[in-house]
Amino acid sequence: MADEYRGRVDFIDCNVWEDEEKASRYNITATPTLVFVDGDGNEVDRLLGYQTEDIIRSRIEPLLKE
């Protein structure tokens, strides 16, 4: 998916056990968690648990239109 959205979406992997500050800032209490943030770093959406690519796309696409 990173290739599909290259230049429009940044995908960032975070190991919450190694980066507790980031996990705390985004209130990540379970894995996997996908946090969608805007250009200012504000959370705009969140998905918990395993998600299919289709579900992830269905959340990304509306955000790109905003």
Total residues found in the chain within this entry: 66
45 residue type, one letter: D
Residues near 57 by Cβ (< 8 Å), separated by ≥ 6? 1
User: What's the pLDDT at 37?
Assistant: 95
> How confident is residue 66, by pLDDT bands cut at 50, 70 and 90?
confident
Architecture of domain 1-66: 3-Layer(aba) Sandwich (3.40)
Q: Which among 61, 7, 3 is positioned nearest to 36, based on CA atoms?
A: 61
Q: What is the dihedral sign for C-alpha 54, 44, 24, 7?
A: positive
Say yes or no to pLDDT of 53 above 90.
Answer: yes
> How confident is residue 50, by pLDDT bands cut at 50, 70 and 90?
very high
Give residue limits of the domains in the chain.
Answer: 1-66
Q: What is the rounded distance in angstroms from the CA atom of residue 35 to the CA atom of residue 50?
A: 13
Q: What is the mean pLDDT of residues 34-42?
A: 93
> How confident is residue 7, by pLDDT bands cut at 50, 70 and 90?
very high
